[in-house]
Structure 1
Amino acid sequence: MARRFRSTYHQKVDAKGRVSVPASFRRVIEDGDPDWSAGQRPNFIIVFGLKFQKRLDCFTLNAMETIDASIDAMAPGSPERKKLERVYHAHSIEAQIDEDGRIILPQSLRDKLDLIADEKARFVGMNDHFQVWKNETYEGLYGTDDESDEDEDLAPDFDMRVLFSSANRPSGEA
């Protein structure tokens, strides 16, 4: 079973745009790069997407292959395929983690996020990919880690697994 991106990390971006990729995320990226081996630098894809989206979506090479296969299966020239090609191909770059576990965010991507030197970027694990946000932008949309209101209407003993459809419910039924 493939490793997944989990948890949230706050990482400082330096004046050159360098930011450390969380160690647990690096392991997933390494596992998802078919050409990676010990001592090499793993590659992954950064999707900067649509203009109004103030985040970066980052995928392993294997995860991007799955997305590419889904796009390839669509009718050539269809409006849906064109949109997906624009986002996942035209609005993406391949990135490489350096020997110190960092990536360099190009100025254009820092501008998209409104990130300046010495600010914190938020790395958010999203299962098959991770997102990079300016911390303040993320908190403006979702609140801080401690004050999210997504669960305010849930009982203290609520079991989140009931949200899965019965067909997709993990073992250890809720």
Structure 2
Amino acid sequence: MNRFLSNATNKIDAKSRVSVPSAFRSVLAQRNVQELYCFQDFVFPAISIGGPDLLERFERQIAAEDPFSPDANEMSLLIHGGGVFMKLDAEGRLMVTDFIRGFTGISDEVTFVGRADHFQLWQPQAFVAAQAQARGERKLAGKRS
């Protein structure tokens, strides 16, 4: 398996660290990801995390635009201005920094959510609410078809 799938909620320890689920660590290891690119998601109150390839994908999109265009500038503002690099510690834990807490509202627990080529950090109740809303919208869309 080389995709981030499923979700799991873990407690943040007294030193503001949280254990990344083993399935997610396995995907990172398979992809040989040493440094994590973390950015504030464009839609949800979540931090999206992947390898440097995720940042490179966004930078290719920016490079395809006129560098002075509003689209290129907005994308750079979001992916560069709203992004940081982080690393897991030797035990597979991630530091839950103010960058993460301030954007997500995370306090004492983190929900890790698989998104195929990357994963996200959510405040647990916000994830449950967003997932329920998405499920409801899919259900309504099915009835309209």
Q: Same-fold call, TM > 0.5?
A: yes
State how 1:13-162 maps to structure 2 within 5 Å: 13-33=12-32, 42-49=34-41, 53-116=44-107, 119-143=108-132, 148-149=135-136, 152=139
Using CA pairs under 8 Å that are at least 6 residues apart, name the structure with larger relative contact order, 1 or 2. Answer: 2
Distance in 1 (alpha carbons) for counterparts of 2:30 and 2:65: 28
Q: Does 1:4 align with 2:38?
A: no
Aligned partner of 2:5: which letter?
R
Alpha-carbon offset, residue 152 of structure 1: 4.2
What CA deviation, in whole Å up to 9, does each residue of 1:61-85 have, x standing for no partner?
1222222222222211111011111
Gaps of at least 5 residues in structure 2 are: none
RMSD of the alignment, in Å? 2.5
Gaps of at least 5 residues in structure 1 are: 37-41, 156-174
Distance in 2 (alpha carbons) for counterparts of 1:112 and 1:73: 29
Find the residue that maps to 1:149 and give its secondary structure.
helix
* CA spacing shift, 1:23–1:30, aligned 2, 3 Å: same
How many percent of aligned residue pairs carry the same amino acid? Answer: 25
Larger Rg over CA atoms: 1
Find the residue that maps to 1:69 and give its secondary structure.
helix
Distance in 2 (alpha carbons) for counterparts of 1:89 and 1:19: 24
Paired residues in the alignment total 141
Alpha-carbon offset, residue 53 of structure 1: 4.3
Distance in 1 (alpha carbons) for counterparts of 2:72 and 2:30: 28
Which structure carries more helix by proportion?
Answer: 2
